[in-house]
Each structure stands twice: as C-alpha cells, then as structure tokens.
C-alpha cells in the first residue's frame, strides 16, 4: 500500500522570538506543493525503513517515518512493516519532505489497519516528530505560528501561477538556519500581508 507525500513552501517567514524549549516562535504561511515523495508499507518479518532516490542524513533507526510507525505500533500492536521511501523532494531545502513522509505514513497506516484515528489524533502522533509535521495531516494552506505547529486556515490559492523552485546543491539543517537569525517581530502580520496583491508582497 502506498501514498504520495507532497512538499510545502513557506510564503513569508517571520522569526519572532527564541523559546525556552530551544525552538523559535514563527509566523509563516504553509502552502502545499505538487512535488512528491512516495511512501509504501508492506508486511514484513521485522520493521525497517528503506530509502531510495536520495540520502537522508543520520542513522537509519532515527528515521522520522520509523519513529512515527513505532509510536503507532506500540499503541495498537501492529504487525511489522517494511517502510519504503522513494525520495524526490530535496533534503535540507525547507520543503518539509521528511515531515510530509512521516505524516503521510501515519495516514497510510491509519487506512491500512482501519485504526479510525481522527485528524486531530493523527496530528498528536506526528507533532512530537517535527514542528511542521502536523501541517501535512490536513494538508491545506494555513497561517502557522507558535513553533510552526499551531494553525489557522486561510484562503490562499496559487493555482493560477507557475511555481519555480531553485535548489542549490547544498544541505542546510533547520538548526543551522535558525542559529544565524536574530528574532524580531515583523511590523505587519502575514495574516494581513497574504491578502495583498502578489505584486505588493516583495515591498513588505
């Protein structure tokens, strides 16, 4: 059984303050993007995760999809599964590929084993895995705030536009990206800016 996990882009990003837990409070708009990883689960003698199409930094046992499945397996006594990821979304590009894979895996397991989990319950499983994981459960444009896991649905539609992604051949970890930022509150909220004509976005 397989599914297609899409990427996301950020429309604007304000890093407003450093939190006591080490994260940063942000304000951004998450927008789903039609670029996909493939996530497949099949019955197996023991649970494992196989990655094709790209290299994911870190140890195999720390894979975010494996962590998501292990949490569900512990609560529901699920049989072992082989998780296969075909990576098309660039790693370390801010496109949410790993978070999407974990969220779509949870939705896939929910469907395969008829767990009956609600969107809110599935968000509860993926929220500890990454700040933007919960976004991919409902997978609709949202204003994201807090550390990126609190959402307000907004009306943004870019279907009339072509979106061109340029990905240099470098990997930037989230921690490294945030370490060079001096948090500051934006003079105008993205909630207001996002409804301006697109030609006015750059000037803000």
pLDDT in tens, 162-194: 989 888 887 777 777 777 788 888 777 888 888
Out of 8, 67, 87, 107, the active site residue is: 8
Q: Which of 45, 35, 37, 83 is nearest to 63 (CA)?
A: 83
Q: How many domains does the chain have?
A: 1
Catalytic residue flag (residue 132)? yes
Q: Please give the pLDDT value at position 203.
A: 62
**Element (DSSP H or E) covering residue 66:** helix 64-76
CA gap 83, 2 in Å, rounded? 10
pLDDT at 63 over 80: yes
CA gap 145, 119 in Å, rounded? 19
Residue pair 153/119 in contact by the 8 Å Cβ criterion: no
CATH code of 74's domain: 3.30.230.10
Q: Please give the pLDDT value at position 166.
A: 86
Out of 37, 101, 132, 149, the active site residue is: 132
Q: Which of 121, 89, 116 is nearest to 103 (CA)?
A: 121
Structure-token match 């590009």, residue found: 93
- Identify the domain containing residue 142 by its residue range: 2-200
DSSP notation for 10-26: EEEEEEEEE-TTS-EEE
Mean pLDDT for the chain overall:
89
Q: Which of 61, 128, 79, 121 is nearest to 99 (CA)?
A: 128
Q: Is 89 helix (H, G, I), strand (E, B) or coil?
A: coil
């Amino acid at each position: 059984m397989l599914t297609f996990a899409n990427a996301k882009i950020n429309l604007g990003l304000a890093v407003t303050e450093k939190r006591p837990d080490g994260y940063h409070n942000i304000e951004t708009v998450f927008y789903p993007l039609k670029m996909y990883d493939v996530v497949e689960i099949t019955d197996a003698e023991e649970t494992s995760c196989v990655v094709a199409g790209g290299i994911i930094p870190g140890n195999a046992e720390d894979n975010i999809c494996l962590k998501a499945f292990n949490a569900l397996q512990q609560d529901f006594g699920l049989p072992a599964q082989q998780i296969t990821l075909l990576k098309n979304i660039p790693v370390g590009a801010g496109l949410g590929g790993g978070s999407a894979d974990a969220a779509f895996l949870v939705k896939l397991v929910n469907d395969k084993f008829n767990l009956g989990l609600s969107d809110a319950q599935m968000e509860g499983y993926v929220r500890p895995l990454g700040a933007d994981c919960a976004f991919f459960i409902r997978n609709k444009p949202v204003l994201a705030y807090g550390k990126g896991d609190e959402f307000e649905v907004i009306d943004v539609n870019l279907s009339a536009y072509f979106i061109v992604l340029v990905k240099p051949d470098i990997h930037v970890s989230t921690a490294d990206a945030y370490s060079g930022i001096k948090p500051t509150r934006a003079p105008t909220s993205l909630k207001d800016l996002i409804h301006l004509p697109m030609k006015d976005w750059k000037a803000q």
